[in-house]
Amino acid sequence: MEPPTSSRLNSRKRRKDGSGPNGATELDGIPPKMSRRSLGLREPAPFSDEVEIDYSKPYIRVTYEEAMRGTPLDRPVRVYADGIFDLFHSGHARALMQAKNLFPNTYLIVGVCSDELTHNFKGFTVMNENERYDAVQHCRYVDEVVRNAPWTLTPEFLAEHRIDFVAHDDIPYSSAGSDDVYKHIKEAGMFAPTQRTEGISTSDIITRIVRDYDVYARRNLQRGYTAKELNVSFINEKKYHLQERVDKVKKRVKDVEEKSKEFVQKVEEKSIDLIQKWEEKSREFIGNFLEMFGPEGALVRSCSGKRGKG
């Protein structure tokens, strides 16, 4: 039986005002507190060719209802999720987290497509296949990694890895001459939808780098990369170096301006302080002068007394 798509999608949507770690909420399917066992991971997930499967037992899929009720510990629900996972980011991790939390007892198998398949069907990648395999291996939600995963899932592949459900976002994925490469999975009732994380994707990251190319090229030149390594022309290399020197001069000028402002401010504060002290001292001086030399001053009284005696 195919899981109800709309309700499953809504149950995994993230609220923007999430208060949990990394913006996670209860709707993400994460328990409020993780068990000590889940925090004690020490090794990366194994590759599928390193895992022994007992093929003596028949391959019998669990139904959606059985999976939701919870299966025995020795029979976890085997969920498969695949992708390119180039520049592995939080959107990838969240999708795998959702796949891992689809059922109470889930064993998550993740397929990563090779460079050859990806370049043929999707385009060039930033990371090579070994780097992408390694990145997925170190995601805490992954139990097993399939290298050189197929672009389209065949019955033979599903049976070989004893897959119960396939997890992916529900947006039709048109590729390899098909309007949706997961169509046959959906029709077989094996599809379990996950929710995409808005605002982050491999294409978004590449777009940021392309948009700010000059900034990153200048930064890496300053860090010791050569123009040849960055595929920067001789003219652009000189332009970047000139821009760097101009920026340094601007920074010095700005620093001098800030220091000048601080100096002027200190002089003003000192001047105000001196004026206040002068006013206080002047009042004291005038008071003392009047007390001595004023009409009723001590000096006048002293002189008057002397004249009386004469």
Q: What is the gyration radius of the CA atoms in the chain, in angstroms?
A: 38
Quick check: 310 pLDDT over 50? no
Looking at every residue in the chain, the average pLDDT score rounds to: 81
Quick check: 248 pLDDT over 50? yes
CATH 3.40.50.620 spans which residues of the chain? 48-199
Mean pLDDT, residues 136-144 taken together: 96
224: left (phi over 0), alpha (psi -120 to 50) or beta: left
User: What pLDDT band is residue 61 in, cutting at 50, 70 and 90?
Assistant: very high
Question: How high is the pLDDT of residue 173?
Answer: 80
**Bridge-partner residues for 192, per DSSP?**
167
pTM of the model: 0.67
Q: How far apart are the first and last CA of the chain?
A: 133
Give the CATH H-level superfamily of domain 48-199: HUPs (3.40.50.620)
Quick check: 163 pLDDT over 80? yes
Question: How high is the pLDDT of residue 161?
Answer: 96
Quick check: 19 pLDDT over 50? no
Gap between the Cα atoms of 293 and 289, Å rounded: 6
Gap between the Cα atoms of 141 and 107, Å rounded: 9
The secondary element (H helix, E strand) that includes residue 157 is helix 155-160
Question: How high is the pLDDT of residue 226?
Answer: 87
pLDDT in tens, 249-286: 777 878 777 877 887 787 777 777 777 777 777 777 77
Side-chain half-sphere CA neighbours of 27 within 13 A? 16
pLDDT in tens, 105-132: 999 999 999 999 999 999 999 999 999 9
Mean pLDDT, residues 71-94 taken together: 95
pLDDT in tens, 199-226: 899 999 999 999 988 888 888 888 888 8
Measure the CA dihedral 29/34/37/43, to 10°.
70
Question: How high is the pLDDT of residue 186?
Answer: 94
Question: How high is the pLDDT of residue 288?
Answer: 72
User: What pLDDT band is residue 14 in, cutting at 50, 70 and 90?
Assistant: very low
